[in-house]
Amino acid sequence: MCALTRLHAPASTYIKSYYDKVQAGQSVGSWGDFVQKLKNIYGQRDNKEGVKKELTVLWVNKDINIES
């Protein structure tokens, strides 16, 4: 709940289901579930990590000719 209070629109709009669950006395799940939901909505947190992932995909894919 502490993390939810730190969110501002539009994030708070997407996470409204957590507010509703708390109001109804239901479980909101784990911290990992919460973080995963934010990742699904907003994608990667760090541009460096995104670039590393993209380069890794290119490095592993032997069908791409990156020299031309």
Tell me: the pLDDT tens digits for 35-64?
Answer: 888 777 777 667 787 788 888 888 777 666
Residue 67 belongs to some domain of the structure: no
Give this prediction's pTM: 0.44
Tokens for 47?
């541009």
Residue 68 belongs to some domain of the structure: no
For residues 28-36, give the mean pLDDT: 86
Q: Determine contact, residues 44/50, Cβ cutoff 8 Å.
A: yes
Residue 16 belongs to some domain of the structure: yes
Domain count, the chain: 1
Residue 9 belongs to some domain of the structure: yes
Distance of CA 63 to the CA centre of its chain: 30
